[in-house]
Chains A and B, each alone.
Chain A
Amino acid sequence: MTFSDTLIQSYSAIKTQPVRVLLIILAMSIGIASVTVLTALGESARLYIVNEFEALGTHLVIVLPGRAETTGGHPPIFGETPRDLTLADAQALFRSRNIAAIAPINIGAAPVSTKGLERETTIIGSTASLRRVRHLNMAQGRFLPDTDTNKILSVCVIGQTIKNELFAQQQALGQWLRINDRRFRVIGVLSSEGQSIGVDFDDMVIIPVTAAQTLFNTQSLFRILLEAKSKPAMYKAVDEIKDIIKARHDGEDDVTLITQDSVVKTFDDILMALTLAVTSIASISLAVAGILVMNVMWVSVSQRTSEIGLLKALGATKRQIMYLFLSEAAILSIAGALTGLILGKATLFILQTVYPDFPVYLPTWAVFAALAVALLTALIFGVLPAKQAAEMNPVTALRRK
């Protein structure tokens, strides 16, 4: 019996039981569809988050004041320390040759107003480098000028939400904006970024860092953002920053450094684990479908006992009988897997049309994995019934009705 004979034989055996076949395909396809949909959702979420973090900047290093003794715990988020991280600290970091740009950050909340309209918003104090480090795009005008940081310039750059709320239907550039008790001239409007990892650049006003320090009456910085020249330079920069700050802080190591790739990696790992967990829960259903395949194969073996006896009497080997039943199981599962893939694709397509903002992507490996798993399930669960068929004694098998 050639390979194609085996296939044709099992195909014709399948064709005689259309209802049964449809049900098995249904069971298998539910399993495969849920696994593919969940894998795709998990993978897309992972890619989405990783992209968001990568869009934050390139070779980004964040310096926060304060350091906790236990590693691996929360970094000191609030960053209140007895010894401030100052502008002078930030400028001193230029001594490291691995750093391409430095953006000191000051953050706070203050009411901003213009012509009777007021809104409380987040104020960021920084320098011209922030645009480069954080990859900000301008919709109109220009970003903070690249001047001596110690000079207080009364200019500001506003986000889209601020523009729409305070300067609706009018030109914002060149207008005065009052932040608490000071006036700032609007020199630029950021293009809309949307929410990026909890930071809404649209609802924000960016002013020179020294202006922010006077506004909030503080000399400490909230963070320093750095862009390293290259990836290897980033690791060197981390060590150098530690040394520079330590030397400036009386030999005390009191800052925490976070590199962008460590953050990306953490999230990558977490989401990968999550995807795996969800997928494995869904694949329990594949095991259930496998049991069903086994059950039906068993029924089919017992129903076709006399047929098996006849085949054996005509000289079919054990191996041929076994292949016959195995290929029947395989055809059923592959059909189920293909249906499941189509079903999964359709679900994803519907999801994509409903949520166009969230890019859904089905990795190619998931398609092949689904097919492989389905085939494997069929073979594992088909082997026992097929073996039973193969081991039958032709005489007793023929005698049975």
Chain B
Amino acid sequence: MHYLDIINLSFRTVISQKLRSILTALGLIIGIAAVIILTSIGRGIHSYVLAEFTQFGTNLIAVFPGKTTTLGLSGATISTVRPLSMADALSLSKLDNILAALPLVQGNARIEAGKKQRRTTVLGVGAAVPEIWKIKVATGRFLPANEQTNPRAFAVLGHKLALELFGDNNPLGQRIRIGSDRFRVLGVMEKKGQMLGFDMDDTIYIPTAKALALFDRESLMEIDLLYKSNMSVKTIEKSIKRLLQLRHGREDFTLITQDQMLKSIDSILNILTLAVAALGSISLLVGSVGILTIMTIAVSERISEIGLLRAVGAEQGTIFKLFLSEALVLSFAGGSIGVLLGLLIVYLISFTLPNLPVQLAWLYIMAAFAISLLIGLAAGVIPAMKAARLHPLDALRSE
């Protein structure tokens, strides 16, 4: 029997039992669609989080005080007997291949402008913020460079803070009060939005030395370093370590490269996507049991038909192929409709809920489709073998 004939015949059998075929395929369709939707959401979250982290640029290294760091927050960040100083940051910035260094202190204070006031996050930073954090100044300019050790009392406002304190008025050149110290507004940053729950717009940037004085501390919380993108992280890391060890006499700091962090986040999120895919494929498994069941029934129902085919000269192989291709037609139909349905729902989601990040995970989609075909094969083999093994005489005789 010609291959086309086999496919044609099994297609007609599938069509003749419309309701049964639809229900069987439906099991697969739901499973495949679930896998596609879930992995798309997983993939979307994956690229969303990675984008959040890479918006700061990828060739960054952060230096933290203290040797042991658990989840970025060690006791040393709060207070330490071996501080990371402004001088450390300054000498790090003079290293070869380091483009900029950003000494960082963070705190919380009340900002007063005229009669208005607001409690907000205070970031003690250097002039390199626009360059290192990839955030632009909307009006005015950022803190001046070359004023690390004895800076003037300038402040740059985040977008939201400027709006809250000055409304429609021009904040540039205005005097504000942070805690008990007076500052002059030099610029306003552009709108940046939330960054992993931290509102980048509800902040104020002041020179690091001023922030250290304001909070009465001597250690920086972090130094962010931007290095030349053509250099390898390893060399940079080595030179930073050597310099700081020379300055401190021992290794009392922790380096975290953006690379490392991205890699670990990436692997965590990949596991997440894999986990939801696994959850979705439970349905796929149940759907495949469905195909197996229906094929078993089909064989037992059509015993006399098989007998007739054998009697008119069909070989065992032909019978086997016939039933196998029937299972394949079912699973192919289920798989492709499932993929289409999944794609449709993913588009609907991204259309109606633009806040929920979805991204099609083509690898998983292709895998799901391939698995649906495999399911067809696996579920078809046993019933098809059973059909092929039937003795033509017995088969014809049975009713």
In the complex, chain B residues whose CB is within 8 Å of the CB of A78: 77-78, 106-108, 221
Contact with B along A356-374 (1 / 0, CB 8 A): 0000000000000000000
Interface locus among B45-53, B95-103, B292-300, B387-395: B292-300
Contact of B198 among A30, A74, A80, A109 (CB under 8 A): A74
Give complex CA distance A281, B180 in Å. 55
> CA separation between A299 and B82, bound complex, in Å?
78
Query: How many Å lie between the Cα of A109 and that of B66 in the bound state?
Result: 7
Interface residues of A in 21-79 (CB under 8 A from B): 23-24, 26-27, 30-31, 34, 38, 65-70, 73-74, 76-79
A175 on interface, CB distance cutoff 8 Å: no
| Interface bits B361-398 vs A (CB < 8 Å: 1, else 0) | 00000000000000000000000000000000000000
Of residues 136 to 173 in A, which have CB atoms within 8 Å of B's CB atoms? none
- How far is A163 from B106 in the complex, measured between Cα atoms in Å? 34
In the complex the two chains form, what is the Cα distance from A77 to B77 in whole Å? 11
Measured between alpha carbons, how far is A15 from B257 in the docked complex, in Å? Answer: 65
In the complex, A111 has a CB within 8 A of chain B: yes
Q: Which of B265-305 contact A (CB under 8 A)?
A: 276, 279-280, 282-283, 285-287, 289-290, 292-294, 296-297, 301
Tell me if A31 and B286 are in contact (CB < 8 A).
yes
- Contacts A120-B67, A288-B30 known; A107 to B120 CB distance under 8 Å? no
Interchain CA distance A27-B287 in the complex, whole Å: 8
Q: Are A281 and B38 in contact (CB under 8 A)?
A: yes
* Residue among B181, B286, B287 having the largest count of chain A Cβ atoms under 10 Å: B286
Q: Is the pair B283, A108 in contact by a Cβ cutoff of 8 Å?
A: no
A69 touches B202 (CB 8 A): yes
How far, in whole Å, are A81 and B110 apart by their CA atoms in the complex? 9
- Beyond A19-B296, A288-B27, A299-B20, whether A80 also contacts B79 by CB under 8 A is no
B64-82: contact bitstring with A at CB < 8 Å (1 yes, 0 no)? 0111101101111111111
Chain B contacts with A in 304-349, Cβ cutoff 8 A: none
With A30-B289, A108-B81, A288-B283 in contact, do A218 and B216 touch (Cβ < 8 Å)?
A: yes
Query: B3 at interface (Cβ–Cβ under 8 A)?
Result: no
Task: Verify B293–A24 contact, CB threshold 8 A.
Answer: yes
Least CB distance from B212 to A in Å reads: 9
A284 within 8 A of B: yes
* Cross-interface CB contact of A106 among B20, B79, B215, B285, cutoff 8 Å: B79
Cβ of B89 under 8 Å from chain A: no
Interface size on B, residues (CB 8 A): 69
List the one stretch of A258-266, A289-297, A308-316, A346-354 in contact with chain B: A289-297
| B279 / chain A contacts, CB cutoff of 8 Å | 34, 38, 278, 281-282
In chain B, positions 194-232 with a C-beta closer than 8 Å to chain A are 197-199, 202, 214-218, 221
Whether B109 sits at the interface, judged by CB under 8 Å, is yes
Closest to B280 in A: A281
How many angstroms between the C-alpha atoms of A109 and B71 in the bound complex? 15
Contacts of B109 in A (CB 8 A): 66, 81-82
* Residue B60 at the chain A interface, CB threshold 8 Å: no
Given the contacts A78-B221, A284-B283, A292-B286, A109 and B74 also touching, CB distance less than 8 Å = yes
Cα distance, A120 to B76, chains bound together (Å)? 10
Bound-state Cα–Cα, A74 to B280, Å: 33
Closest B residue to A38 by beta carbon equals B279
Q: Is A276 an interface residue (CB 8 A)?
A: no
Is the Cβ of A109 less than 8 Å from the Cβ of B68? Answer: yes
| B301 touches which of A19, A23, A294, A303 (Cβ 8 Å) | A303
Residues on A with beta carbons closer than 8 Å to the beta carbon of B66: 109, 120
Q: Are B215 and A298 in contact (CB under 8 A)?
A: no
Whether B106 pairs with A218 at a CB distance below 8 angstroms is no
Q: CA A19 – CA B383 in complex, angstroms?
A: 11
B19 CB to closest chain A CB, in angstroms? 6
A78 to B122, CA, bound (A): 11
Please state if B107 and A66 are interface contacts (CB–CB under 8 Å): yes
Contact A83 B292, beta carbon cutoff 8 Å: no
Indicate if the CB atoms of A200 and B79 lie closer than 8 Å: no
Query: Is B121 interfacial (CB 8 A cutoff)?
Result: yes
CB distance from A104 to the nearest CB of B (A): 14
CB distance A68 to B75 under 8 Å? no
Given contacts A78-B106, A218-B216, A284-B34, contact A292 B283 (CB under 8 A): no
Bound-complex Cα distance A198 to B292 (A): 49
- Contact between B75 and A123 (Cβ–Cβ < 8 Å)? yes
Specify which of B20, B108, B119 is in contact with A79 (CB 8 Å cutoff): B108
Taking CB atoms and an 8 Å cut-off, the chain B residues in 209-262 that contact chain A are: 214-218, 221, 252
- A196: chain B residues at CB < 8 Å are none
Q: Mark B164-184, 1 if CB is under 8 A from A, else 0.
A: 100000000000001111000
A184 at the interface (CB under 8 A from B): no
Q: B residues within 8 A CB of A122? A: 68, 74-75
A215 lies within 8 A of chain B by Cβ: yes
Judging by beta carbons under 8 Å apart, are A67 and B23 in contact? no
Closest B residue to A118 by beta carbon equals: B250
Residue numbers in A under 8 Å from B216 (CB-CB): 84, 218, 220
Smallest beta-carbon distance A383→chain B, Å = 14
Q: Is B31 interfacial (CB-CB < 8 Å)?
A: yes
Among B106, B118, B215, B282, residue most surrounded by chain A Cβ atoms (within 10 Å) = B282
B26 at the interface (CB under 8 A from A): yes
- Return the CB mask of B127-150 against A: 1 if under 8 Å, else 0: 000000000000000000000000
A252 to B297, CA, bound (A): 78
CA gap between A81 and B227 in the complex, in Å: 32
Which B104-118 residues have a C-beta within 8 angstroms of A? 105-110, 118
Interface residue? B24 (CB, 8 A): yes
**Least Cβ–Cβ distance between B109 and chain A, in angstroms:** 5
Q: Would you call A291 and B119 a contact (CB within 8 A)?
A: no
A214 CB, min distance to chain B CBs, angstroms: 11
Question: CA of A77 to CA of B78 in the docked complex: distance in angstroms?
Answer: 10
Residue among A23, A109, A203 with max Cβ neighbours from chain B (10 Å): A109
Residues of A within 8 A of B26 (CB): 291
Contact A81 B80 (CB under 8 A): no
CB <8 Å contact, A289 and B286:
yes
**A284 in contact with B30 (CB, 8 Å):** yes
Q: Does A13 sit within 8 A of B, measured CB to CB?
A: no
Contact indicator A23/B108 (Cβ below 8 Å): no
B202 close to A31 (CB less than 8 A): no
**Closest CB pairs A-B (n = 8):** A82-B179, A80-B107, A66-B108, A109-B76, A108-B79, A122-B75, A216-B79, A80-B215
Contacts A81-B215, A278-B279 known; list 12 others, CB within 8 Å: A19-B296, A23-B296, A69-B120, A79-B108, A80-B217, A82-B110, A109-B81, A200-B70, A284-B34, A287-B30, A289-B290, A292-B289
* 8 examples of A-B residue contacts, CB within 8 angstroms: A70-B202, A76-B108, A107-B78, A109-B82, A110-B80, A216-B79, A288-B283, A292-B293
